[in-house]
Structure 1
Amino acid sequence: MTIASSARAPGFIGGGKEYSRPDRRMAGMLFFNDEGTENGGLIFAGKDAGGKASSGGSLTFDRYNQDQVVQLFGFEEGQERSAGIKVNDQPEGRLDFPAVDRVRSLPEGQQGAAYRAANVGGTQRLFVGRAVDKSSQVVLRDGQGRKRLVLRVGEDGATSIDFLDQAGKVQRTVRPTAD
């Protein structure tokens, strides 16, 4: 385990070797398996670089030699807040740590394919929690990360179940009948 401030947070550590991780700006604890590879963490944030409130926390568990598959989180940025649990699928292959480090130097148009070749890129499959619109939701997604079923209770108590097609268009909404 490593405990660090945001200024002293390490890069990604895989197989006991550290790789650059310029997007890691939060303080917290990183967990490692017995082989010296990062496999989750507990991180926290306060204000962004401009001093604006941007708080949050996240407890994650990673798939072996991959990225996070379970995340318990709470984040706030200005008036937008969200909190809940996410479950993700990760690629079958091992995350290619050295390749990830090299991808950042590629032109932006080439990065997507290079990340996929390095086995980067999880797909969110489940969200349970408070959404930005202040509703409570259970969202189930297909293998490509597309929303397919959304159970919602609005801040005002209104309830619905949405069934979506592959394009994300609501095909049917079920609401309670009037009493």
Structure 2
Amino acid sequence: MNEIFNLPCLSHMLGRFFKRSKMTDAKNAAFYDFSALDISEKKDISMKDFQGKTLLVVNIASKCGLTASNYPQLKELNDKFYDKGLRILCFPCNQFAGQEPGTNEEINQFACQYDPKFQMFAKIDVNGSNTHPLYAFLKTKCPGFGINAIKWNFTKFLVDKNGNPIKRYGPQEEPLTIIPDIEKII
């Protein structure tokens, strides 16, 4: 009879342990330790593929009020800095008011209207118990103001050529305002 009551306790303790280990892993990890599924869901892409590149990592949404300004400005950044080594890594996320409801294929078609050179990944969670490990890492290295959670679509992380997260930009900071920071590290 006691074994029945111990199972929930054991389950709770294991859950807390694994959650804690995920956070510890994020603290001790390096950017290049992570990978993510590409938008076609056919290939796991290692962040090592981006060694030596300056990166802008963005959680995107196609039906957000910020989409109309962010996508064209991200394209402008790509046009200006792609040949100098900037890569824009886009991670669709539907956690904010359901503003990225489409399939990965629909999301990719939408994004390609703006710039087919964006590196598109499959839809992920950026907050909560299913947070993608890369985002757990980024949030650990560049915490937000007040709370550490991603607050909305189009939160951006600038990562240098050595895989060091340099700065986090809130959703209201438009991509073109990041140019001076990109120019310092590219």
Q: Common fold, TM-score beyond 0.5? A: no
Q: What TM-score do the two structures reach when normalised by structure 1?
A: 0.25
The answer to which structure, 1 or 2, has the higher relative contact order (CA under 8 A, 6+ apart) is 2
* Larger Rg over CA atoms: 1
Structure whose residues are more often helix by fraction: 2
